[in-house]
Amino acid sequence: MSNRQNCDSGSLSPLELYERVTTQGDKVRSLKAAEAPKDEIDTAVKLLLSLKLMYKATTGQDYKAGSPPTDFTPINNAPAITEDDDFVDPWTVQTSSAKGVDYDKLIVRFGSSKIDKELISRIERVTGQKPHHFLRRGIFFSHRDMNQILDAYENKKPFYLYTGRGPSSEALHVGHLIPFIFTKWLQEVFDIPLVIQLTDDEKYLWKDLTVEKAYEYAIENAKDIIACGFDINKTFIFSDLDYLGMSPGFYKNIVKIQKHVTFNQVKGIFGFTDSDCIGKISFPAIQAAPSFSSTFPQIFKGKEDIQCLIPCAIDQDPYFRMTRDVAPRLGYPKPALLHSVFFPALQGAQTKMSASDPNSSIFLTDTPKQIKTKINKHAFSGGKDTIEEHRKYGGNCDVDVSYMYLTFFLEDDDKLEQLKQAYTSGALLTGELKKALIETLQPLIAAHQERRKQVTNEMQALAQALIEEDHGE
């Protein structure tokens, strides 16, 4: 049984309790229809009744199918950060700990499941591939329904990948590569279609940008995404500002989602206020819609039952918790998710990297000299104040940003462990650890820049064109 099934009901929002009751009710009906053994049905009914009692105790309302809670506590939207609390929503990540966000607490709070050794072993067994180092090192650490995806793969049932990028600047930083690097691996391992949403509409609504500038950023970001090396024949990259106007399927799903989510719900989930523009309030449905295969009739030939797998940073989870609540009421499968940790700023793990602060990030446009200067000057160190103290007591890899970055980009497990042991023991100095990071990032970024130069207008047009092959078979 998953962590989510075992987690305490007090850690779940009313919306998630509603989702649990709905799912369990579907299970009871399925067992009865299949004429399952009486004791199995009785056990499922008892759990359903227990969940309904939890729901009523939390909301003060009886559970009613098709009527989710109309008012509930904001998800991860606490008014202030205490010493032990982190603040995480799709736009802000804050923590008081130099080690970064407490992801174990976040799993409990969000009601997701931990990616444990058993799941990683199953991924390796099912795919026949060594798990990506992002999985082995806990960079992707949480999931929703990944076992369903593996079941589908084993049974030769189709599914597809969906990820995205909010284009708030012309250049991406290295943190933006994380979901794309992992998604590329997933596409190669499972050999499936991928859709990539560029939410230029979102950035226009949230940032001080013109529509034209937001779209321009989307076009430039698409070049960096293509340079990651996706299978161009199975990848559809689209700008919301472009695709929405030419896709009835996309807009129909947006409207369906909007009808099933109340204003109180989006306020509770996303923290919107009465002074927010209506564009922000309606946007979550736009990010949710690509989770459903009918949004892309040109790819899936109108099929509505193809499940979606979404690799993303965990701050995007509120969008898809909402989506998973709506999906059964629309007759669609719930999207599965794989969540990554946050990529820290050079100054420390207290915040995410920011595209608006050039010194917080290593950008994909940086020269080798800029990379070296930024790391040497700005990368937060876990070393001691003097060489003598460092040699005696060693460094702290838990807070050292150079080591954190190496866990993302140094693929050699043995070398990473050697660096950790040497730094922790004091044999390796901070400057030497930074040098290892510089020597890792410089060729990686130079190679990306070279691939980006090879992205022609024709390649970009193909990636943004409508895929004609029927990948839904």
Asked if residue 184 and residue 143 are part of one domain, the reply reads yes
Check residue 70 and give its pLDDT.
56
Asked if residue 125 and residue 66 are part of one domain, the reply reads no
* Domain extent for 411: 368-454
Asked if residue 117 and residue 58 are part of one domain, the reply reads no
Question: Average pLDDT over the chain, rounded to whole?
Answer: 87
Q: Domain for residue 198, yes or no?
A: yes
pLDDT at 82 over 50: no
Asked if residue 179 and residue 35 are part of one domain, the reply reads no
By C-alpha distance, which of 128, 129, 122 is closest to 149?
122
Structural domains counted in the chain: 3
Asked if residue 39 and residue 186 are part of one domain, the reply reads no
Check residue 241 and give its pLDDT.
96
Window from 39-43, 175-179, 275-279, 461-465 with minimum mean pLDDT: 461-465
Check residue 8 and give its pLDDT.
40
Q: Which residues contact 472 (CB under 8 A, 6 or more apart)?
A: 158, 293, 299, 300, 301, 303, 306
Asked if residue 172 and residue 72 are part of one domain, the reply reads no
Q: Domain for residue 338, yes or no?
A: yes
Q: Domain for residue 93, yes or no?
A: no
Please give the angle made by the CA atoms of 297, 300 and 302, to the nearest 5 degrees.
50
Q: What CATH number corresponds to the domain at position 137?
A: 3.40.50.620
Strands of 15-109 (E only): list them: 87-88, 93-94
Q: Domain for residue 90, yes or no?
A: no
Q: Domain for residue 339, yes or no?
A: yes
Asked if residue 396 and residue 328 are part of one domain, the reply reads no
End position of a domain, from candidates 313, 346, 379: 346
Q: Domain for residue 468, yes or no?
A: no
Q: What CATH number corresponds to the domain at position 33?
A: 1.10.287.10
Asked if residue 428 and residue 293 are part of one domain, the reply reads no
DSSP codes, 96-154: S-TT---HHHHHHHHT-EE--HHHHHHHHHHH-SPPPHHHHTTSEEEEESHHHHHHHHH
Asked if residue 385 and residue 333 are part of one domain, the reply reads no
Residues 347-389: pLDDT tens digits?
887 655 556 678 888 999 999 999 999 999 999 999 999 999 9
Q: Domain for residue 422, yes or no?
A: yes
Asked if residue 313 and residue 416 are part of one domain, the reply reads no
pLDDT at 71 over 50: no
Check residue 115 and give its pLDDT.
97
Asked if residue 309 and residue 248 are part of one domain, the reply reads yes
Asked if residue 306 and residue 276 are part of one domain, the reply reads yes
Residues 126-141: pLDDT tens digits?
999 999 999 999 999 9
* Rounded (to 5) percent helix, strand, coil in the chain: 55, 10, 35
End position of a domain, from candidates 293, 312, 346: 346
Q: Domain for residue 280, yes or no?
A: yes
End position of a domain, from candidates 286, 313, 346: 346
Q: What CATH number corresponds to the domain at position 437?
A: 1.10.240.10
